[in-house]
Structure formats: C-alpha cells, structure tokens
Amino acid sequence: FHYMDLAQYVDSHQDEYVEMLRDWVAIESDSSNVQKRPELHRMMETVAQKLRLMGGTVQLVDIGEQELPDGQTLELPKVVTAQFGNVSSKHTVCIYGHVDVQPAKLEDGWATDPYNLTEINGNLYGRGASDNKAPVLAWIHAVEAYQALSMDLPVNVKFVIEGMEETGSNGLDAMIMAQRDTFFSEVDYIIISDCGWLSRRPALTYGTRGNCYFFAEVEGPEQDLHSGVYGGTVIEPMTDLIGILDTLISPSGKILIPGIREAVAPLSDEEWKMYQDIQFDMDNYKNKIGVNQLMYSNKVDLLAHMWRYPTVSIHGIEGAFSDPGSKTVIPAKVTAKFSIRQVPDMDPAMVKKQVTDYLHSVFAKRRSPNKLKVTMVIGAKPWLADTHHPLYEAGKAAIKRVFNTDPDLIREGGTIPIARTFQDVTGKSIIMMPIGGFDDGLHSQNEKMSRYNYIEGTKLFIAYLNEVSQIKRTSV
C-alpha cells in the first residue's frame, strides 16, 4: 500500500479540492426552502456528473414527491448512487452523505457570504462546508487519488448521496427498502462522515441521537388584530402557544412530558467510565459557544446530556412578528417548531402520542376557545454501533497512520435520520468516521471546514479504504 504517494498526491491537489468545494458551496441546496428546490436538483446533478466523469456507474434515483403542509406536492431531489469496482473477492463499502444544507442568510450574522466559500486563516467558511459537502468531496477525492495513480481500489466503493437529510431524509427509507436486494445486496459495510470531532483529537462515532420534530399550531381570530384595539378582549393564540411551550421542559432541563424520561435506557457503569475517560475541556466548550454557564457543571453529566439523554429544543414560531421594529399586532395563527432528540429506548411513535396527548391536556386546562393542532413531521430513531466491530479497529489503524494518535470514541448529539434504517433494513454494519472539526459551527452562522481537516480527512479516507480491505471475511 503506497500511502505516502497517495498522501503526496492529495497535498499537491489541495487547491483543486478547495475550488471544487467552492463550486459546491455556491449551489444553495437548502432542502427546507421550497423556493430553492431547483438549486437542490442542480446540486444532485452536479454530484452525479462528477461521479460519471470519474467512470462510476451512476444512477439518479427518482424517490417521488414530498407533500407540503398546504397539501401541494413537490418533486424530491433524486438520490445519487454510484459504483466503483465490482471485484467479488473484495469487500464493498457504501459511503453515505448528503449535499443539502441548512438555511443561511448573510443578515443572520454571517461575516462572509454563506454561499461564497471564503478562506480565512486556514478555515473555509460557507454553508454546508462541513455539513456535509467537504466530507462527501473528501471521499470522492480519495477514490480519485487511487485512480490518478493507477492503483487498484482496495475495496469496491459505492456511494449513496442524498439531498433531504436536513429535513429528515424524506423518501430515502423507501429507496433503501426497494434496493435492499439489488444495490445493497453486495455491500459489506456502510461508512458515514456526517458529524464532527469532540476536540482537536480525531474521533470515531458509535452513536447518534434520533429526532422527533413537531409543529404546534394555535389558531384564533380570522386575521391579525390591532393589539390596542382588541388587546384585552380576545384570547391571544400566541399567549396560549407560549403557555403550552413553557410546560415542555423545566429551567433545569427536566423534560416534563409524562413517559419520556421513563423510557430512557439507564446509563451503565461502562458508559459512565467511558465518558469519564474522554478528554474534554469544559471551558473550551463554553468559550466556543460564547456562554459562561452550562446546564451541567461536570464532564460526565454534560457528555451524557449531549449524547445519551433526550432534550427539547424550541426552534421558532411561524406567524409570529419577528422583523426588526415594533409592530403592535396580535397574530391570528402561530405555529411553534420544536424537537425532541431521541435516545435508546425511546420510540418515535410513542413520543408522538405522549407529546400530542400532553399538549392537548395542558391546552384544555387553559379553557381557550382557540384551536390547537399538533403534528410530528420527522420521527427519526437513534443509532448505536458495536465499537468492538473490526470496522472500528480498522478506523483506529487509519487514524494512527494519518494523525499518529488514537481516536476518541464518541457519540453524536445530532441525528443522521437514515442511519438506523441502513442498519435495520440492510443488516450491514455501520461506522461513522467524522472529519469535521469540533468548532465548525454546523447549522450556525459562519460554518466552516478547516483546510487541514479537509485535506488530512481525504488522506484518512484513503488509508481507511486500505484498512477495511484487510478485514477478514468471517468478520463481515
């Protein structure tokens, strides 16, 4: 295995890789904004074209339509599948990633245009740079490097790249089920690089939280009203909504919805010990996010609540006045968006019932004439891997080769909605191998990917393909 030659190739092509990331970041592939859907289609076509030019067997798989809250339908972005190599004596890995992004606007407080990749002090700023465009590209560059040096790929490589991850991977479950006995039948392992390290030390990820995402709509008068003219006479939808939202979680982080906490698998002594042994600087973490106090003051509690316990987050209220200035309005209809991160042994179907029943009972106590409607729009399960699987040993060896250190074994507080489906439907083992930095600002202003992580991450993937090829057949 000529690792040094491959690594040198990567180093000498890094500016091209950055330019390609620039082209990809320039496509506003925001999956949550229906106006941007043409951009998302263009993004999927761009990925497919890149893989075609590399000689892959590429398909753009139609996964149907999405139903919007107003009943209209919208074409889902096609899923790109590709295959490089089909040698039966070799293992086959399937790389999953996504190229849709979270919304971003300059006026949200970005220092640079979110869709114009900008390099400052070795960091590449742009929406989707770390989540998940650079990691997807790094996998592509890894395959390209083998090809460019006329080296056989040590394993067959398949890609599944989607464009709806940030809104729950709509349509992908059905596609995986439909292709379970075709595209996925020869796949041995699934690799996902859609998360980040915990610190400056490289990491391997063995668990993700799931997510149940809710809309709670309160509807009252026929139209918005003047708060001076009508205030005091009507029962305001916003007051009702804030009132019920306030019953979801206590100020100290205790979830108040009956049944949620009871479902959580207890933290084992082994887990407690693992968290205890992880190097994690709480002050650094506070500095990074700009707060002087956290919900928990010791490391184990903090890590456990980041990865291992559910939490409620309130994201926004549609219909509420949120522009600058001071409009004196009583909004007629307001819709809160909130989500509950899922952990073993929670069940999204159960959570849906628990949340819906609870909010209706709390609302009923208010004796409000307004109407409450609760819907769950995403129900993604958590995912957990066996860290003793050879995939993780191979990951450790690759990290040792590239970074000359042992990795942290970590969990991810975020959600990769399709991870659990991959595991349950295909029955294949999954590893998550992040290359994003701990301070990349995913979903936030000024998201970035460091040039270092992008380039060394590409080398890591090159080394990992070789390590996976050494896994003995019996361990598949």
Ligand X SMILES: C[C@H](N)C(=O)N[C@@H](Cc1c[nH]cn1)C(=O)O
Nearer to ligand X, 212 or 225 (CB): 212
The helix/strand/coil state of 411 is: strand
**Closer to Zn ion at the Cβ: 131 or 456?**
131
Interface mask (CB under 6 A) for ligand X, residues 204-223, using x and -? Answer: -------x-x----------
Choose, from 165, 217, 408, 447, the residue flagged as catalytic. 165
CA distance 64 to 14: 37
Using CB under 6 A as the binding rule, the residues of this chain from 145 to 184 that contact ligand X are 165-166, 168
Rounded to an integer, what distance in angstroms lies between the CA atom of residue 83 and that of residue 79? Answer: 13
3-class secondary structure, 413: coil
Nearest distance from residue 211's CB to ligand X, in Å? 4
Q: Nearest approach, Cβ of 208 to ligand X (angstroms)?
A: 7
State both tokens at 427.
């029955």
CA distance 170 to 79: 11
Which long-range contacts (C-beta less than 8 Å, at least 24 apart) are formed by 103-106? 103/30, 103/32, 103/33, 104/30, 104/445, 104/447
The single residue among 47, 143, 416, 462 that binds ligand X, judged by CB under 6 A, is 416
Binding partner of residue 213 among ligand X, Zn ion, none, CB cut-off 5 to 8 Å per kind: ligand X
Residues 93-152 that bind ligand X (CB under 6 A): 131-132
Q: Which stretch binds ligand X (CB under 6 A): 105-113, 263-271, 413-421, 426-434?
A: 413-421
Helices and strands (DSSP H and E) totals, the chain: 15, 20
The tokens for 134 are 């650079």
Strand order in the sheet with 210-219: 312-318, 333-342, 210-219, 371-380
CB of 377 to ligand X, least distance (A): 9
Closest listed residue to residue 176, CA positions, set 118, 96, 114? 96
The set of residues, in sequence order, having a beta carbon less than 8 Å from that of 415 and lying 6+ positions away, is 208, 209, 210, 211, 341, 342, 380, 382
Which of these ranges, 22-30, 127-135, 212-220, 359-367, lies near Zn ion under the rule CB under 5 A?
Answer: 127-135
Nearest approach in angstroms of CB 96 to ligand X is: 12
Asked whether residue 98 is marked as a ligand-binding residue, the answer is: yes
**Contacts (CB under 5 A) with Zn ion, residues 128-147:** 131-132
30 labelled ligand-binding:
no
Rounded Cα–Cα distance for residues 449 and 138 (Å): 12
Q: Closest distance between Zn ion and the C-beta of residue 106, in Å? A: 20
Active site residue 100: yes
Specify binding-site residues for Mn(2+).
98, 131, 166, 194, 443
Q: Which residues bind ligand X (CB under 6 A)?
A: 131-132, 165-166, 168, 194-195, 211, 213, 378, 380, 412, 414-417, 442
Q: Which residues bind Zn ion (CB under 5 A)?
A: 131-132, 194
Specify binding-site residues.
98, 131, 166, 194, 443
Positions marked active-site: 100, 165
